[in-house]
Amino acid sequence: MSAAKEIMQWVTDHSIGEAFSTADLTRFGTRASVDQALSRLVKKKCLLRLARGIFITPSDQNVVRTISPVESALGVISRRSNCAIQVSGTEAVKCLNIPVEPISNPDQNFQWVAKPRRLTIAGKSIHIRSTSPRKVALCGRPAGLAVTAIWQIGRPNMTSTIMTTIINSLSPEERRALRESAAALPAWAREQMPDVDVDVVENMRSSAIIPKSIPSRKFHDVRNSETETARSAFHDDLDEDAIDSGKRSASAAEGRWSGFGPYYAMFPVDFARQVIARYCPPGGAVMDPFCGRGTVPFVALATGREGLACDINPVAWIYAKTKTDPYPDPQVVLRRARKIYTLITRNDRRPKNEFQELAWSRDVLGFLNAARRELNWKGSRIDRTLMGILLVHLHAKLGNGISNQMRQSKAMAPEYSVKWWREKEMLPPEIDILAYLEDRLEWRYKMGVVENAEDVERPTILLGDARTVLRRTPKAFEANLILTSPPYYGVTNYRYDNWIRLWLLGEGPTLPQTDAWARHGNKEEYRELLNRTFTVCKKKSTEDAVIYVRTDARKFTLESTVDVLRGVWPDKRLYFAFDGFKKATQTALFGDKELKPGEVDLLLLPSDHPIPIGMQLIEVNTYPNLPTNDLSK
């Protein structure tokens, strides 16, 4: 079969009604032979050429098209470049039916974060201009149109009526997406966003009070392309400021600080609240020897209980220490940032390697190097607060941080990152670092900080190995509840997973190194870690203390944890609850779709305590009986 026939067969089978590019057809021959075959098919009017290297079937042979030729061609460009394309701000305003005077004449302009590009599509001159990632955030969905429209309208033209119209034009899901990505909006817009209750608005929508939501445009969304798996590796699996309702909403200090610190393994705030409320009396004390970003001590602070926690990871320690004891005046923190800026040297702006060259702009890199050298984050509360803010935003999605496109919760491999950026022609964003920090500090502190209850000290957060540092705490401290989640055997390596942030702290090199010990991959050492840690915890707790441990469902980790807990607290009854196998894990971002073992909650209670609802007793000399799904590792 000739190349032309193979191509036409492929179009008939796979691409009726969809535009495609020459690059999609290289499987059928050399580039020259494919070009020649396409040229012949165009002359025979079997194909229509939309733009250079982009084709579609003619309308008389096609199914009904739901999008224009321009959008079809832009969809191909978006897919091949792996970079979402958004309509112009003027078009976004028009799509949302916003009642404002035209700010500029309607045009055939579009925008994306890659290099600007001019081309002709179906006889129309198209300009895809380069713009800030914040202005095209959430591209491919109605919430993205709202973001673009808000930037286009601008502060002088925005009114509360217009803002409410924008919010109410979105479905509940899209409104949530917009609020969760509020960092993409200018500060003035975030202040004007109304607090709309999703359920109330949905009820109003059903009564036809609110217009139906705006549909998304197909070409905006590159998430359905075959390259989504690789692309999503740079997208976050965690929302840094995931906050709860009521008192814990973003309108309260607790809500603004509870999500401080992107971290790949952490307790949900609501879970910690429920356990602490149930098993620790008001005014009591809670301990977490593996505190991560500090959710347990933070909830203890917010609910009027004492807290003692520690972590060996300096990044986690800064998150936990900052959220439970930030410097109270953001202006002092900002003045410190301005002082650091004056200390930037010419050498600070020079990248040490290709990763640094593409990860941050020269101005941002200079500030980071100066902060790395000057900030005393271990000894100064001001410096630690500033460093905490920097760590949060050091790397993230474009528009959400100060870096080129990366994931926020976990550092990517430098070689992979550089290759990805170069393939997509992505450069680091030019950011006014002081203005950025001022904006972030303003949002974080807008509702103040979480205050400790009267006669209750702020939590003590220690940096180091729990087996040793907990021994140095005051003898008077006795925990009523130990709530923790130890590291899982052989699962994560905190040094490699945090290598970029550890570099900023001066705790790691400019490029990552593999530290096997940080992954807890030796079985005997892992058991010893658990045994010594919980032995120390027992000495720092009351006789009737409750111990609540969330651990991995894999056989070795689970059985080792059960054995250790029984050995340290032989007089208590041990219960468990299994939350089932999981699909949504970090590895799913990289194409691993298999079921994951999930987690098991282990609960130690005094023998006279009532049987907890939803838990099962683990009989002596047995282990939790879990469903079968290869938990042998």
What is the pLDDT, as a whole number, of residue 16? 56
Contact criterion met (CB below 8 Å) for 141 and 157: no
Q: Tell whether the model's pLDDT for residue 53 goes beyond 60.
A: yes
Please tell me which residue, 445 or 598, carries the higher pLDDT value. 445
Rg (CA), the chain: 28
Task: Give the three-state DSSP class for 506.
Answer: coil
What is the pLDDT, as a whole number, of residue 224? 37
Query: pLDDT grade, residue 14 (50/70/90)?
Result: low
Range with the poorest average pLDDT among 223-227, 529-533, 568-572: 223-227
Segment 360-388 mean pLDDT = 97
Q: Tell whether the model's pLDDT for residue 387 goes beyond 90.
A: yes
Please tell me which residue, 489 or 577, carries the higher pLDDT value. 577
Contact criterion met (CB below 8 Å) for 7 and 34: yes
Contact criterion met (CB below 8 Å) for 44 and 38: no
Name residue 292's amino acid. G
Q: How far apart are CA 312 and CA 541, in angstroms?
A: 21
Which two three-digit tokens encode residue 243? 């906050």
Any idea of the CA torsion for 67, 68, 71, 75, to the nearest 10 degrees? 60
Q: Which of 41-50, 234-243, 340-349, 588-597 has the highest mean pLDDT?
A: 340-349
Question: What separation in angstroms does the CA of 272 have from each of 152, 276, 402?
Answer: 42, 6, 31
**How far is residue 32 CA from its own chain's centroid?**
44
Contact criterion met (CB below 8 Å) for 71 and 217: yes
| Alpha helix positions (H), 394-505 | 414-423, 433-445, 466-469, 494-497, 499-504
Nearest CA to 113 among 142, 141, 146, 148? Answer: 148
Contact criterion met (CB below 8 Å) for 548 and 601: yes
Q: What is the mean pLDDT of the chain?
A: 81
Query: In this structure, what DSSP letter does residue 248 have?
Result: G
Nearest CA to 627 among 597, 586, 605, 607? Answer: 597
Residue matched to tokens 């359905």 = 224
Question: What angle in degrees, to the nearest 10, is found between the helix axes of 31-43 and 3-14?
Answer: 70
Task: Give the three-state DSSP class for 53.
Answer: coil
Which two three-digit tokens encode residue 368? 């980071």
Domains and CATH numbers, the chain: 3-65 (1.10.10.10), 85-225 (no CATH), 246-259+327-445 (no CATH), 288-321+452-489+523-617 (3.40.50.150)
**How far is residue 322 CA from its own chain's centroid?**
19
What is the pLDDT, as a whole number, of residue 62? 45
Query: How crowded is residue 227: how many other Cβ atoms within 10 Å of its Cβ?
Result: 15
Q: Tell whether the model's pLDDT for residue 517 goes beyond 70.
A: no
Contact criterion met (CB below 8 Å) for 370 and 343: yes
Please tell me which residue, 241 or 620, carries the higher pLDDT value. 620
Q: Which residues contact 436 (CB under 8 A, 6 or more apart)?
A: 393, 402
Q: Tell whether the model's pLDDT for residue 199 goes beyond 60.
A: no
- What would the DSSP string read from start to end of 291-354? -TTTHHHHHHHHTT-EEEEEES-HHHHHHHHHHHS--S-HHHHHHHHHHHHHT--TGGGS-SSH
Segment 187-195 mean pLDDT = 78
Please tell me which residue, 543 or 239, carries the higher pLDDT value. 543
What is the pLDDT, as a whole number, of residue 232? 37
**How far is residue 122 CA from its own chain's centroid?**
39
Backbone angles phi, psi at 119, to 5 degrees: -160, 170
Which two three-digit tokens encode residue 587? 């590895």
Angle at 167 between CA 162 and CA 169, to 5 degrees: 95
Please tell me which residue, 623 or 205, carries the higher pLDDT value. 623
Range with the poorest average pLDDT among 10-14, 87-91, 469-473: 10-14
Query: What tens digit of pLDDT does each residue of 490-504 get?
Result: 766 777 889 999 999
Name residue 520's amino acid. H
- Count H helices and E strands in the chain, helices first: 25, 15
| Alpha helix positions (H), 122-235 | 142-157, 160-168, 172-180, 187-192, 198-206, 228-232
What is the pLDDT, as a whole number, of residue 38? 84
Query: In this structure, what DSSP letter does residue 50 have?
Result: E
Contact criterion met (CB below 8 Å) for 246 and 374: no
Q: Tell whether the model's pLDDT for residue 409 goes beyond 80.
A: yes
Angle at 408 between CA 323 and CA 417, to 5 degrees: 150
Query: How crowded is residue 531: how many other Cβ atoms within 10 Å of its Cβ?
Result: 17
Q: How far apart are CA 441 and CA 586, in angstroms?
A: 29
Q: Is 344 exposed, middle or buried (0-12, 13-18, 19+ CB in 10 A)?
A: buried
**Three-class SS of 415-444:** HHHHHHHHHCCCCCCCCCHHHHHHHHHHHH
Residue matched to tokens 């347990």 = 296
Query: What tens digit of pLDDT does each residue of 110-119 get?
Result: 888 777 888 8
Segment 532-550 mean pLDDT = 96
Query: How crowded is residue 619: how many other Cβ atoms within 10 Å of its Cβ?
Result: 9
Give the H/E segment covering residue 221.
Answer: none
Give the H/E segment covering residue 570.
Answer: none
Nearest CA to 259 among 293, 236, 286, 287? Answer: 293
* pTM reported for the whole predicted model: 0.62
